[in-house]
Structure formats: structure tokens, C-alpha cells
Amino acid sequence: MIKVCIFDLDGTLARTQASIARPVNMTLAYYGLPEQPVEAFNYFAGDGIKNALIRALKAAGDTDVDRHVEEGLPMCRAWMQEDPCYQVEPYDYVEWALNELKAKGIRIAVFSNKPHASAISVVETIFGKGLFDHIQGQTDRIPIKPDPTGVYEILKEFGADKSECLYFGDTNTDMMTGHNAGVTTVGVTWGFRPRAELEEYKADIIIDSAREIPGLTCH
């Protein structure tokens, strides 16, 4: 019986590419490098802002990536926190599906590689306060995915077993996270990456619409 659903944020609950591109491109501009197109962040993003910055610097032809990451990451994080909801919008039927889960008595949580404060800001701005039972972003204590620590912490808080959890995500990082945690993985095809990536990283279930989410908890 499913008691807990844990969701990735970027590319799973909400369309957030522009909000990630904005601070990264501001950092590139600071170093006199060309900004990268928003659609490139489908692949730059997924495992933390640091890795997104590294990939963008390399794509922009930077010849001093290590130094610019060390120097630029604090600026990039600050710019992200300035406007974490920049052009962010939820995917179709996501809010409906979340409310359906809540009506069934299922606990719902977010586990994101965004900095913790940004994750809370985005989720509560888009979905309101109180919809999610737990919001977890990156902290010094919770490493970025695919480390499963965040999943373990959420399950512990809810008093739930791995067998009672579904983990939803749109990237290889998410599928690895779920497998590392020993929970059932659900790949969503409406996010940053194609179905082929979800298949390659062995998603247990793949869905094409958020309308399918509530039905998964009946099995």
C-alpha cells in the first residue's frame, strides 16, 4: 500500500528552466561569456546549481572553469535566491493530482537539488503553504541527489517503509536516487529529459501525464 509520494521539483512538478538559466547566465555575463539558451538547461540542470554552472561555463567556451566556479557559485546562488520563481509554472494537472493524493490520505513531499530556501520559496509560491507535508532542498546535512539521504529522512519523518513510497522524477539523477533509496521510481515524460533516458536508467514506471499519478497509488 502506498502511503508516501516524493516528488522532484524541477521538470517534475514545475517548468523551471528559465529560473535556473537566469542566475547562471548572469554569472556567465559577469565573466564576459555568452549567455546560453534556456532550452540548454534541460541538460545543464538536474543535479544542483553548481553542476549547472559548470556545464554552462564549458558550453560558453570558458577557459578557466575551476576558478570561475569557485568564485562565481556564491554569486549565482545569491542571484537565484533573488528571484527563484522567475517564469516558473506548474505542469498541467499536477496540482489536481497532488490534491487527489491528499484526499486519499497520502503524505506528499518534495526532494529537490535546489538550495533549500529556493526549493521552499518555489513550492510555496506555486502551490501555496501547507499542501506539501515536507519540502527538502539541498543543505549541508542533505547532499544532492542521487544521494538518497533526503528520501530516507522523509520516510523517517512520516514513519513509512520503502515499500510504501513512490518517487517521481524526470531525469537519470532521479531514477538513480530512487534506486539508491530502494523505493519504486516513476519517470515522468513531460519534464527536462526524454523517455529514452528514463528507460535507460530503468524507471520502474513511466507516465506521460500527471493525470495518471493518483491511480498509481491503488496498486
| pLDDT (tens digit per residue) in 61-93 | 999 999 999 999 999 999 998 998 999 999 999
pLDDT of residue 46: 83
Residue 136 near residue 147, CB atoms below 8 Å: no
Residue 170 near residue 11, CB atoms below 8 Å: yes
| Assigned CATH class of 17-82 | mainly alpha
Percent of the chain with pLDDT over 70: 100
H or E segment at 94? helix 94-103
Question: Could you give the CA distance from residue 217 to residue 137 in angstroms, rounded to a whole number?
Answer: 25
Contacts of residue 84, Cβ cutoff 8 Å, sequence gap at least 6: 19, 114, 117, 118, 121, 122
State the average pLDDT for the chain.
96
| pLDDT (tens digit per residue) in 149-163 | 999 999 999 999 999
Where exactly does CATH 3.40.50.1000 map onto the chain?
A: 4-15+88-216
Pairing of strands 107-115, 89-90: unpaired
The CATH architecture assigned to 4-15+88-216 reads 3-Layer(aba) Sandwich (3.40)
| pLDDT (tens digit per residue) in 152-207 | 999 999 999 999 999 999 999 999 999 999 999 999 999 999 999 999 999 999 99
Question: Could you give the CA distance from residue 191 to residue 218 in angstroms, rounded to a whole number?
Answer: 24
Residue 154 near residue 109, CB atoms below 8 Å: yes
Question: Could you give the CA distance from residue 27 to residue 191 in angstroms, rounded to a whole number?
Answer: 25
pLDDT of residue 219: 60
Where exactly does CATH 1.10.150 map onto the chain?
A: 17-82
